[in-house]
């Protein structure tokens, strides 16, 4: 999979194909996650939120908006990227991709780029939906978009790795369902970890999702459970680890040629 120069046409072709597939599965890729998130806002924001005490001077309904947004983004980023690269393996067209005049970097750019685009759209639609139920303010909108882009990129890269690793549809869902979802619920999506007593607060700090949720929430309300620089460091670390894993996969051919 070597190419003398940047194959923009190849990258664009894969990107357009992936975006077209998202259009054909619009209900699954956008409508269903938005409806599910809206139900969370109805239950936790409107129904329960009115009976919950404010957190750091912020109403409970508004406080959980960043966490709920990321819960949806985490899952959809992984699923979008993993299904995108898994289907060529499943149908056998991965061999055509491997023999095409397009580099491994360009393949990753196309598939992950499409997944990031879909996840960003989902996140923004989710935030617009949230404004229907609660009063949402964003103190640092530009930084919020940058954080969102970094987070979606990190989890789309993770999804790409999972898509190559998975050998069946069940394995595609193991990591998102058994690890990412519990880590999100235990990562401060619905509460501030400052409310936890010891030793649980210290234990929670080993959960990387805590740093992502905290940093993203800071862009909304200017408050954070951990230093913002540590949130950035965790995001960059996840991206670096995933890129390293992807580079090794393409170099070794792990589960690409078998």
* Count of helices and strands (H, E) across the chain: 13, 0
In a domain, residue 257? The reply is no
Task: Give the tokens for residue 35.
Answer: 């409806």
Average pLDDT, the chain: 88
Residues 134, 62, 151: CA angle, nearest 5 degrees: 115
User: Please, is 241 exposed, middle or buried when counting C-beta atoms within 10 Å of its C-beta (0-12, 13-18, 19+)?
Assistant: middle
Question: Does some domain include residue 2?
Answer: no
Torsion of CA 122, 128, 132, 133, to 10 degrees: 60
Pairwise CA distance, residues 147 & 130, whole Å: 18
Mean pLDDT of 139-151: 97
Under DSSP, is residue 131 helix (H, G, I), strand (E, B) or coil? helix
CA distance 241 to 76: 20
Res 258 pLDDT > 60: no
Which two structure tokens, joined as six digits, stand for 125? Answer: 């639609």
Reported as a single tens digit per residue, the pLDDT across 14-69 is: 999 999 887 777 666 677 777 887 787 777 766 565 566 667 778 888 888 999 89
Angle at the Cα of 75 from the Cα atoms of 72 and 79, rounded to 5 degrees:
135
State the total domains in the chain.
1
Contact criterion met (CB below 8 Å) for 41 and 127: no
Please, are residues 224 and 217 in contact by the beta-carbon 8 Å criterion? yes
Q: Which residue has the higher pLDDT, 142 or 61?
A: 142
The pLDDT score that the predictor gives to residue 141 is: 95
Residues 6+ apart with CB under 8 A from 71: 37, 40, 181, 184, 185, 189
DSSP-assigned letters across all residues of 167-222: SSHHHHHHHIIIIIHHHHHTTTSSS-GGGSPTTHHHHHTT-HHHHHHHHHHHHHHS
As a whole-number percent, the residues of the chain with pLDDT over 90 amount to 51
Residue 165 has pLDDT above 60, yes or no: yes
Q: What is the pLDDT of residue 83?
A: 92
Structural domain contains residue 223: yes
Longest dimension (CA), the chain: 62
Q: What pLDDT is attached to residue 110?
A: 95
Q: pLDDT tens digits for 191-241?
A: 889 888 888 899 999 999 999 999 999 999 999 999 999 999 999 999 999
**Structural domain includes residue 160:** yes
**The pTM is what?**
0.91
Is residue 1 in some structural domain?
no
Report, as an integer, the average pLDDT of 108-137.
Answer: 91
Q: Give CA–CA dist 150/160, Å, rounded.
A: 15
The boundaries of the domain holding residue 108 are 8-252
* Residue 84 maps to a domain: yes
Alpha-carbon torsion 163, 167, 172, 176, what sign? negative
Residue 3 lies in a domain: no
- Residue 105 forms part of a structural domain: yes
> Does the pLDDT of residue 116 top 70, yes or no?
yes
pLDDT score for 45: 61
Q: With beta carbons less than 8 A apart as the criterion, state whether 72 and 122 touch.
A: yes
């Amino acid at each position: 999979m070597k190419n003398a120069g940047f194959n923009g046409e190849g990258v664009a072709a894969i990107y357009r194909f992936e975006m077209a597939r998202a259009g054909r599965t619009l209900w699954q890729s956008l409508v269903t996650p938005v409806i599910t998130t809206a139900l969370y806002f109805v239950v936790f924001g409107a129904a329960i939120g009115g009976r919950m005490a404010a957190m750091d001077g912020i109403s409970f309904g508004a406080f959980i908006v960043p966490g709920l947004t990321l819960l949806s983004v985490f899952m959809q980023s992984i699923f979008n990227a993993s299904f995108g690269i898994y289907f060529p393996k499943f149908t056998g067209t991965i061999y055509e991709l491997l023999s095409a005049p397009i580099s491994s970097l360009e393949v990753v750019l196309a598939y992950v780029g499409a997944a990031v685009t879909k996840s960003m759209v989902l996140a923004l639609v989710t935030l617009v939906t949230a404004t229907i139920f609660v009063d949402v303010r964003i103190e640092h909108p530009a930084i919020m978009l940058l954080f969102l882009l970094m987070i979606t990129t990190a989890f789309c890269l993770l999804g790409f790795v999972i898509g190559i690793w998975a050998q069946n549809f069940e394995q595609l869902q193991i990591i998102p369902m058994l690890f990412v979802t519990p880590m999100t619920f235990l990562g401060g999506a619905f509460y501030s970890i400052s409310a936890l007593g010891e030793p649980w607060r210290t234990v929670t700090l080993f959960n990387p999702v805590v740093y992502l949720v905290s940093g993203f929430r800071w862009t909304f309300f200017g408050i954070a459970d951990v230093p913002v620089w540590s949130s950035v460091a965790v995001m960059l670390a996840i991206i670096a680890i995933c890129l390293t894993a992807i580079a090794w996969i393409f170099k070794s051919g792990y589960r690409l040629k078998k």
